[in-house]
């Protein structure tokens, strides 16, 4: 199954992604100024999406000459460039999307990007936001998520719906068995992986899952 890899126009916390993190058939999308991250990777994106207010016309023309698909949107629009990139990927029937550069300096953009996890157009798509050693994804009712984790990693659960019900976990220091987490309570924060695989199943609601990989000393 082909993945879409999107780079947004935000800061990226080290460790920076490398070509080893990607697969040969990954489809790379630059969300407007997210194009700045690709030269460091030695990769040319397949598609550039946005209103291009963060790029010069020379930069856009250069990418077009490199064979990059240019998807231009008007400057006066309701969607952010990242949302447009996500919707463009969904049209291609991609089932997994990984986003870099969506978290960081601006709190308003960070919160808005996190809320994109619950976008109705992505209900059949597994979306992850990655920054450094942290990965954020959304678990919907009836789904199971198995984390690519190691012992000592931190895992947090934050309800995005008023309640997340029927949560059952395995591999965590503080397990849940058919548990309920309520929006506004930090009860699900800072659990620790003690066994592999680490897995969470949920029956109802929407649950943000934050996986923080332990950094080797």
What CATH number is associated with residue 71? 3.40.50.10240
Residues 10 and 104 in one domain: yes
Average of per-residue pLDDT across 29-42: 96
Angstrom CA distances, 148 to 9, 95, 96, 108, 133, stand at 26, 18, 15, 29, 12
Whether pLDDT at 118 is above 80: yes
* Residue 125's pLDDT band (cuts 50, 70, 90): very high
pLDDT digits (tens, 9 = 90+) for 43-54: 999 999 999 999
Q: Name the domain count of the chain.
A: 2
Query: pLDDT category, 62, cuts 50, 70, 90?
Result: very high
Q: Would residue 217 count as lying in a domain?
A: no
pLDDT of residue 106: 86
* 115 and 8 fall within a common domain: yes
Structural domain ending residue among the three candidates 80, 105, 132: 132
Q: Is residue 21 part of a domain?
A: yes
Confidence check: pLDDT of 158 > 70 = yes
Q: Which tens digit of pLDDT belongs to each residue from 86-116?
A: 999 999 889 999 999 999 878 999 999 999 9
Pair (104, 42) in one structural domain: yes
Residues 143 and 124 in one domain: no
Residue after which a domain boundary falls, among 113, 132, 151: 132
Average pLDDT, integer, range 170-196: 97
Question: The CATH number of the domain where 178 resides is what?
Answer: 2.60.120.320
Q: Is there a single domain that holds both residue 145 and residue 164? A: yes
Rg (CA), the chain: 18
pLDDT band at 217 (very low <50, low <70, confident <90, very high): low
Are 113 and 200 part of one and the same domain? no
- pLDDT, the chain, mean: 95
Residue 59 has pLDDT above 90, yes or no: yes
Band of residue 215 on the pLDDT scale cut at 50, 70, 90: confident
Segment 54-73 shows an average pLDDT of 97
* Domain co-membership, 94 together with 196: no
Residues 11 and 60 in one domain: yes
188 assigned to some structural domain:
yes
Mean pLDDT of all residues in 110-127: 96
**pLDDT at res. 1:** 58
Give the pLDDT confidence score for residue 146 in this predicted structure: 96
Q: Which domain holds residue 146?
A: 139-212
Q: Which pLDDT score, from 0 to 100, does residue 105 have?
A: 76
* Closest by CA position to 73, among listed 56, 46, 52, 102: 52
Domain final residue pick, 132, 152, 169: 132
Residue partners of 109: CB distance under 8 A and separation at least 6: 10, 80, 102
Q: Is the pLDDT of residue 6 over 70?
A: yes
Does any domain span residue 95?
Answer: yes
Query: Do 125 and 41 have their domain in common?
Result: yes
In angstroms, the CA 142 to CA 206 distance is 10
- The percent of residues above 70 in pLDDT, for the chain, comes to 99
Shared domain for 170 and 113, answered yes or no, is no
Domain check: are 7 and 73 in the same one? Answer: yes
The phi, psi pair for 195, rounded to 5°, reads: -155, 155
Are 144 and 206 members of one domain?
A: yes
pTM of the complete model? 0.94
In a domain, 14, yes or no: yes
Geometric angle at alpha carbon 193, from 192 and 195, rounded to 5°: 145
Give the model's pLDDT for residue 2.
85
């Amino acid at each position: 199954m082909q993945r879409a890899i999107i780079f947004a126009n935000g800061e990226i916390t080290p460790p920076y992604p490398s070509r080893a993190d990607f697969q040969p058939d990954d489809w790379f999308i630059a969300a407007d100024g997210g194009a700045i991250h690709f030269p460091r990777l030695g990769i040319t994106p397949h598609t550039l999406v946005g209103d291009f207010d963060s790029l010069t016309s020379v930069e856009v023309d250069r990418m077009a000459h490199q064979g990059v698909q240019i998807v231009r949107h008007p400057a006066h629009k309701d969607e952010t460039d990242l949302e447009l990139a996500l919707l463009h990927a969904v049209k291609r029937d991609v089932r997994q999307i990984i986003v870099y550069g969506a978290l960081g300096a601006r709190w308003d953009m960070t919160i808005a990007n996190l809320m994109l996890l619950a976008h109705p157009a992505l209900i059949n798509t597994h979306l992850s936001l990655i920054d450094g050693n942290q990965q954020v994804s959304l678990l919907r009712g009836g789904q199971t998520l198995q984390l690519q984790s190691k012992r000592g990693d931190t895992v947090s659960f934050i309800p995005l719906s008023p309640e997340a019900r029927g949560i059952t976990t395995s591999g965590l220091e503080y397990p849940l068995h058919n548990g309920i987490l309520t929006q506004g309570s930090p009860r699900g924060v800072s659990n620790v992986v003690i066994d592999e695989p680490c897995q969470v199943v949920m029956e109802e609601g929407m649950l943000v899952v934050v996986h923080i990989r332990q950094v080797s000393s």
